[in-house]
Amino acid sequence: MMQQFETIQKAGKENVDAALKAFGVTSKGVQTIAVETTDYAKKSFEAGTATIEKLAAVKTLDKAIEIQTDYVKTAFEGAVAQMTKMGELYTALAKDAYKPFEGIVAKAVPATK
């Protein structure tokens, strides 16, 4: 009976430790994602503002179309790159948050078979 209690107590401690590690990793990952999102929003705003300033100073329709086309192309490429980067950050976050539980899951799976 005492041995079972110690086993349960040890498993509980391992679970709490794993949860705390996962929480720390998740917190750090979310902070990284927030910083990255903020940086991208700032860069996008600055690029949009610069484009509006260029368009305000334009004298011909051809030049306005050229400026707008360049902006749309650059904005699209930036958005695709940002989505790829964010996908990588979220994937890394999920993997890192799961790592503390790998040992616990590995122990539990053979026990259920």
Residue 48 lies inside a defined structural domain of this protein: yes
> Into how many domains does the chain fold?
1
Q: Does some domain include residue 8?
A: no
Q: Is residue 11 part of a domain?
A: no
3 domain residue, yes or no: no
In a domain, 4, yes or no: no
Instruction: Tell me if 109 is assigned to some domain.
Output: no
Whether 75 is in a domain gets the answer: yes
| Residue 86 within a domain | yes
Task: Note if the pTM is more than 0.85.
Answer: no
CB atoms inside a 10 Å sphere around CB 100: 19
C-alpha closest to that of 44 among 74, 86, 83, 67: 74
Residue 62 structural domain: 16-101
pLDDT tens per residue across span 28-71: 999 999 999 999 999 999 999 999 999 999 999 999 999 999 99
